[in-house]
DNA sequence: TTTGTTCTACGAAAGTTTTCGTAGTTAAAG
DNA sequence: CTTTAACTACGAAAACTTTCGTAGAACAAA
């Protein structure tokens, strides 16, 4: 369940989301005002970005009034979680599997080498240090 | 001292760095092999990316042999730190200043309102919670 | 009304990142 | 030698993101 029905927000989109998370439902002008503190792009840039985000489903908006009010459609926590877990995963993902790939990626994997790797895997099993997800085996 | 003489790695560059951090010095083929598990771009794509990263100073390389060996020129820890601190900052940066900006961004700031905001600022000062940087006066 | 201001919509340019095809080099076999 | 396989270099297309100018609608104030 790596949910995320939403395409990962871009850098600028993150900036907008962060403002909205802090301010709550806001107009483009309000968001742009905050953003303009640290960034110098024009008002229509922010507007366009927010329109795109709305289309993508990243933002909700209330357009009953002339001036639309936007709010984040995704929870800060979920993005936080995503960022953190991505980091953890990215920084240390495969453990032992990597050794194998390292070996395979380089030489052209002769039968002998494959055999060698198999033995390596066997020895790992004997250590009870396996970490595979599928341990069906029967 | 927000160090970072290096331009922030892009998404793909991060992928390559992560492989190198885990594998240690490696050839393009090795990196590409690992990457190909989760991504399906061609070998020359990985090659080009790594060449660019080398030019940017993100990677070191040993090209004595025909097959070059690359390694990360930046420490995993420093990037981790950067990511984390960016997250913390982004997720809660300005605290009280934001309220003011919210107010200013919306209405057109009549004299009365400005006065009101000044009073608000004064009350913050009394709390000893000020955080301004410029206090020009004259 | 008419005018001025503030807003949305939207196309398209500019900027950035990613992807790959092609050409040329090197080295190991044949 | 000659051929073949694995590499590097590199230009440029493709894809994506960011930026902005311009047009027109809404609305308040003169």
Report which of residues A92 and B8 the model is more confident about: B8
The string of pLDDT tens digits covering residues A69-89 is 999 999 887 776 676 556 545
Closest CA–CA distance from residue A126 to any residue of chain B (Å): 24
Inter-chain CB proximity B33 and A105 less than 8 Å: yes
Partners of A60 in beta bridges: A71
The string of pLDDT tens digits covering residues A108-117 is 444 444 454 4
Per-residue confidence in pLDDT tens, chain B, 138 aa: 444 566 789 999 999 999 998 889 999 999 999 999 899 999 999 999 999 999 999 999 999 999 999 999 998 877 766 765 565 455 434 333 444 444 444 444 444 444 544 454 444 334 433 333 332 222
pLDDT of residue B69: 97
Nucleotide nearest to B106 (CA to C1'): C6
Mean predicted confidence (pLDDT) in A105-134:
43
pLDDT of residue B84: 56
The answer on pLDDT for A9 being more than 70 is yes
Chain B residues near residue A30 by CB distance under 8 angstroms? 101-102, 105-106
pLDDT of residue A135: 28
Report which of residues A46 and A128 the model is more confident about: A46
Label residue A31 by pLDDT band (50, 70, 90). Answer: very high
Q: Of the candidates B33, B11, B6, B10, which has an alpha carbon nearest to the alpha carbon of residue B22?
A: B33
The chain-wide mean pLDDT, for chain A, equals 71
Interface residue of A16, A34, A70 to substitute, partner B, most B CBs within 10 Å? A34
Interface residue of B68, B101, B132 to substitute, partner A, most A CBs within 10 Å? B101
Inter-chain CB proximity B105 and A29 less than 8 Å: yes
How much of chain A exceeds pLDDT 70, in percent? 54
The answer on pLDDT for A3 being more than 60 is no
Mean predicted confidence (pLDDT) in A85-106:
46
pLDDT of residue B73: 96
Option in A27, A37, A91 nearest B80 (CB): A91
The answer on pLDDT for A99 being more than 60 is no
Q: Which residue of B has its CA nearest to A103?
A: B30
The answer on pLDDT for A107 being more than 80 is no
The answer on pLDDT for A17 being more than 50 is yes
pLDDT of residue B86: 64
**Cα–Cα distance measured from residue B20 to residue B64, given in angstroms and rounded to the nearest whole number:** 19
What number of CA atoms fall less than 13 Å from residue A122's CA on the CB side? 6
Pull the structure tokens for residue A114: 């494959």
Beta strands in B13-116, from DSSP E residues, in sequence order: 59-62, 69-72
pLDDT of residue A82: 73
**A50-58: which pairs have CB atoms within 8 A and are 24 or more residues apart?**
A50/A16, A53/A9, A53/A13, A53/A16, A56/A6, A56/A7, A57/A5, A57/A6, A58/A6, A58/A9, A58/A13, A58/A17
> Is B60 within 8 Å of B6 (Cβ atoms)?
no
């Amino acid at each position: 369940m790596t949910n995320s029905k939403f395409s990962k927000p871009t850098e600028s989109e993150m900036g907008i989301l962060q403002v909205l998370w802090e301010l709550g439902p806001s107009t483009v002008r309000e968001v742009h005002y905050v953003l303009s503190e640290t960034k110098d792009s024009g008002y229509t840039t922010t507007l366009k970005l927010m329109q795109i985000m709305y289309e993508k489903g990243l933002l909700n908006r209330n357009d009953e009034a002339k001036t639309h009010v936007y709010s984040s459609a995704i929870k800060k926590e979920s993005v936080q979680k995503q960022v953190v877990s991505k980091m953890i995963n990215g920084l240390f993902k495969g453990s032992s599997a990597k050794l194998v790939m390292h070996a395979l990626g380089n030489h052209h994997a002769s039968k002998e080498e494959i055999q060698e790797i198999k033995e390596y895997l066997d020895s790992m099993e004997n250590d009870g240090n396996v970490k595979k997800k599928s341990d069906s085996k029967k």
